[in-house]
Amino acid sequence: MSRLVVISNRVPVPDEKKGAPAGGLAVALRAALEERGGVWMGWSGKSSGEQDAGPLSMIEDGNITYALTDLTDRDVEEYYHGFANRVLWPICHYRLDLADYGRKEMSGYFRVNGFFAERLLPLLQPDDTIWVHDYHLIPMARELRERGVRNRIGFFLHIPLPPADVLFTMPVHEEIIKCLAHYDLVGFQTDHDLANFVGALEREGIGHSPAPGHLVSFERKFRGGAYPIGIETAAFAGFARRAASHAMVRKAEESLVSRPLIIGVDRLDYSKGLTQRIDAYERFLVDNPHHRGNVTYLQVTPKSRSEVPEYEAMQRTVAEQAGRVNGALGTVDWVPIRYINRSVARPLLAGLYRLARVGLVTPLRDGMNLVAKEYVAAQNPEDPGVLILSRFAGAAREMNGALLVNPYDMEGTANAIKRAIEMPLEERKARWQQMMDRLLVHDVSRWCDDFLSDLTEEENAAHAALAT
């Protein structure tokens, strides 16, 4: 089995005190790296200022080598804050009004990808399998190919890929597509994303799909597929069971005074539909006065990318909106919305998921949304809650027991909240069970194995042919 080399913008390095990172993606990739041995490379998250980035920081942990590089202030501003998060992110999330394209930032994006490739080169072995992650690093395969790398290279896009009419608003869309053609396998979250990619190739006349999963573009043959990412379902379910006795969870339960809890957990981002969600909850209370004082909505929203002006402005907007609803509808002994603008420890979060009668996951656009899957995995099988899910989240393609809503339809979402709060136990159980059954089979390890199996399929076939 060949070594695995993972490249991502940030690298979840194990902490000596805290141990290995707890998130599903980190767990799956770490397990794959431990099995095969290999390297995980990316940005350290630190800036070297105006000075040279300095040498790679190498951390050995078992048979995994973590390779981290600093970036200069200019690199961070142009590559990360600039092109990645002010061009690619908003366009891929259909927010053309927020895209701020500049040639300097675009140049920095490609420059930093070349810098990463240059730093990775001495670490590679001829039979390594390389797996590149997400929108920050789309040009990585081309940069490596130009430096003579002929290894199998796969790419997985964790965010949505929009249809051609949206994608083509990016001035360098053809260059981005050309970069993707240098991979052996390009993975997307859903079949819709894959179809959008094929549609972009055909609309622009720069490629086509001669057979399902097979692509031709810029004189390269490669493969594309949908690989919906999962969570560590069984482990998280056990985690949530144990978390139910967490002191802070018990305290939160007591504070509800038997009121049903609605929970939303989202990074502070304009793609998450937070303002629309609060509007829908307010409409639910206005339209159903008998539920006022008898339900509590907890919104957990850690800060995100506060260096980007749009995010700082949104933080103020969401806080003001929650305050307005509380001021208008709250009473001396009841607050409609509990708003937390910081991270919550994972044991507490798992316990709160389990406590909540309704999981409110209503992004305007999302590649997958693992909160939806964590909420379902955390539920008590004897008394499960109801998932309300945006039809524009990738998870909607799998979670067939959820109440699907259009987050732009305030009244429709308000009606779904009412239905979820009042849903009979037997229906809640049936809906939960069909979602949980799927999550147990299609967990994050299955996602990882499926992608790597397809990436190495042709390589393994070639080895088998040589052996005979």
pLDDT, residue 49, reads 83
pLDDT, residue 177, reads 96
Q: DSSP per residue over 379-443, as a string?
A: S-TTS--EEEEETTBGGGGT-TTSEEE-TT-HHHHHHHHHHHHH--HHHHHHHHHHHHHHHHHS-
- How far apart are alpha carbons 267 and 159 in whole angstroms? 14
Take residue 211 and report the two structure tokens written for it: 């057979």
CB 292 within 8 A of CB 341: no
pLDDT, residue 14, reads 81
pLDDT, residue 17, reads 55
Q: Catalytic annotation on 366?
A: yes
Q: Please, what sign has the CA dihedral across residues 438, 443, 446, 452?
A: positive
Q: pLDDT (tens digit, 0 to 9) for every residue of the chain, 468 residues total? A: 799 999 999 998 887 555 444 566 787 898 899 999 999 999 999 998 878 888 899 999 999 999 999 999 999 999 999 999 999 999 999 999 999 888 889 999 999 999 999 999 999 999 999 999 999 999 999 999 999 999 999 999 999 999 999 999 999 999 999 999 999 999 999 999 999 999 999 999 999 999 999 999 999 999 999 999 999 999 999 999 999 888 999 999 999 999 999 999 999 999 999 999 999 999 999 999 999 999 999 999 987 766 667 788 888 899 999 999 999 999 999 999 999 998 888 889 999 999 999 999 999 999 999 999 999 999 999 999 999 999 999 999 999 999 999 999 999 999 999 999 999 999 999 999 999 999 999 999 999 999 999 999 865 554 444 354
- How far apart are alpha carbons 91 and 304 in whole angstroms? 18
Work out the widest C-alpha separation in the chain, in whole angstroms: 80
Query: What is the per-residue pLDDT across 78-111, written as a single tens digit (0 to 9) for each?
Result: 999 999 999 999 999 999 999 988 888 999 999 9
In 3-state terms, what secondary structure has residue 347? helix
Q: Which residue has the tokens 């524009």?
A: 392
- How far apart are alpha carbons 460 and 463 in whole angstroms? 5
pLDDT, residue 74, reads 94
In terms of Cα–Cα distance, which of 49, 108, 52, 44 is closest to 70?
44
Query: What is the per-residue pLDDT across 221-273, written as a single tens digit (0 to 9) for each?
Result: 999 999 999 999 999 999 999 998 889 999 999 999 999 999 999 999 999 99
Take residue 260 and report the two structure tokens written for it: 């049903």
CB 93 within 8 A of CB 365: yes
Residues 6 or more apart whose CB falls under 8 angstroms from that of 21 comprise: 12, 14, 27, 30
Catalytic residue among 128, 184, 366, 443: 366
pLDDT, residue 460, reads 58
3-state secondary structure 16-64: CCCECCCCHHHHHHHHHHHHHCEEEEEEEEEECCCCCCCCCEEEEECCE
At 292, give phi and psi (nearest 5°): -65, 135
Domains of the chain: 4-230+445-467 (3.40.50.2000), 233-441 (3.40.50.2000)
pLDDT, residue 388, reads 98
In 3-state terms, what secondary structure has residue 220? strand
pLDDT, residue 307, reads 67
Q: Catalytic annotation on 158?
A: yes
Question: Strand 57-61 and strand 4-10: pairing?
Answer: unpaired
Catalytic residue among 81, 158, 173, 291: 158
pLDDT, residue 314, reads 87
pLDDT, residue 21, reads 47
pTM of the model: 0.94
Burial class (CB in 10 A: 0-12, 13-18, 19+), 462: exposed
In 3-state terms, what secondary structure has residue 211? strand
CA 257 to chain centre: 34
- How far apart are alpha carbons 214 and 199 in whole angstroms? 13
CB 315 within 8 A of CB 322: no
